[in-house]
Amino acid sequence: MVNTGIVGKQTIEFNNVFYGGVSPVLSFSSRLRTTTINQQMLVEVQEEGATNWQIVYSQTGGSTPESSFTEKTVSLPEMAGKSFRVRFALNFDLGSYYPTPDDSSGWFIDAVSFGGMSRLSAGEEETLTSTTGSITPSVGEYLWSVAPIISGRAFPSGMQIVTIIPAQPAPGYATWAAAVETSHSLPAGTLANHPIGDWDNDGHPNLVEYAFGTSPVVPTVDSPRFPALLADPADLVLRYVRDSALPDITIAPIASVDLVTWLPLGDPTAPGNFSDVAVATDGDLETREVRIPRSAGEQWFLKLKVTKN
C-alpha cells in the first residue's frame, strides 16, 4: 500500500465476515519501507451492525525502512462471540509522503492468517413479507449468522453453529435384529432370518417385539405399548401404541365373530363403524384406539396383525 497524494485512507477489506471464538487472533507479515510520520499503518475491525471501525493495530511511519518482513500478531478479545469484518488501512494526514510505486516505499503485507475464528461465506439474503422465513441448506456444518437489514442498515447478528446431516433411513427390522444379535452374542441371522420366530418363548414373535419396542431375547410379559382392552360400555376398545418411525411394518386391526375368519378395516362384512383412530402422540409414538360399537346379540373379537412390508 502506498499513498498517491490523496488525503484519507487506502483500505484492503476482506470480503468475508468472521465470527470470533474464545480467543480470536489475526497474524500477518509486515514490511514497512520508506514512509513519513504523516502516515499510519492500521488494522481495523468492525462489528456487524456497527458504523465505526475500531483500530486494533497501528504503526506510524517515518522510521528506518525495514529490510525484511516481520510477523505481527493481533489479539482480538473484544470480538469473541461476535461477527465482524477486517481491513488493513494506510491513513495519510496532510504533509509529505513517498508516492513511488515500487518496493522502496509504502507498506507491504503478506501471509495473513486467522486463528480462533470462523470465516462466514456464501451469504444469502431473503426479503421477508412477514416475521418468518426459511432457507434449505445442504449437508454440512455451518456457523449461521442471521442479521436484519432494515432500510439499508445492517443490525447486529445472531450466531449459532448448525450441523445438517443426511436424512437417516429408518433402521428397519434387519438392522434392529442384527444389533440385538451382536449385543447378545447370537449367531448372525438368529433373529433377522426369523421374524415370526419366538426366540425367548414369551409368546411374542420377533417381529411383534420389534413393532412394540420389547426385547426378543428377554421374555416380556407386558408392555405399555402392547394392545390392551379398555372398559367401555358403548364400544369394544383395543388400545395400542405404534412407532411411526418404523415404516417397514404395518400394524392393522382385524375383527372376527368366530376366531376363524378375520376381517380388516373396510371389509364389506366387517362390523359397522369399525375404526382405528390416533388419540395421542409423543414424538414418534402414536397411541391409537380400535373401536367396534357394542350391538345387542353381537359378539366380536379384536386383535392386531403385524406384517413386514
Q: Residues 36-59: pLDDT tens digits?
A: 888 899 999 998 878 899 999 999
Band (pLDDT 50/70/90 cuts) for residue 192 is: very high
b/e map 34-49, b = 16+ CB within 10 Å: bbbebbbbbbbbbbbb
Check: CB of residue 74 under 8 Å from CB of residue 25. Answer: yes
Let me know whether 18 and 114 are in one domain. Answer: yes
Residue 163 lies in a domain: no
Residue 159 lies in a domain: no
Q: What percent of the chain has pLDDT over 70?
A: 89
Q: How far is CA 289 from the centre of its chain?
A: 35
Q: Give the domain-ending residue among 87, 120, 153.
A: 120
Residue 107 lies in a domain: yes
* DSSP, residue by residue, 249-293: EEEEEEEESSSSS-EETT-TTSPTT-EEEEEEEETTEEEEEEEEE
CATH number (domain holding residue 299): 2.60.40.10
N- to C-terminal Cα separation, the chain:
70
Kindly report, residue by residue over 240-263, the tens digit of the pLDDT. 999 999 989 999 999 999 999 999
Band (pLDDT 50/70/90 cuts) for residue 2 is: low
- State the pTM of this model: 0.48
What mean pLDDT comes out for the span 96-111?
80
Q: Which domain holds residue 275?
A: 228-308
> What is the residue whose three cell numbers read 418404523?
246
CATH number (domain holding residue 32): 2.60.120.200
Q: Which candidate, 168, 187, 169, places its Cα nearest to that of 177?
A: 187
The answer to which of 42-51, 235-244, 294-303 has the lowest mean pLDDT is 294-303
Let me know whether 30 and 61 are in one domain. Answer: yes
**What element of type H or E holds 88?**
strand 83-92
Band (pLDDT 50/70/90 cuts) for residue 157 is: low
Band (pLDDT 50/70/90 cuts) for residue 126 is: low
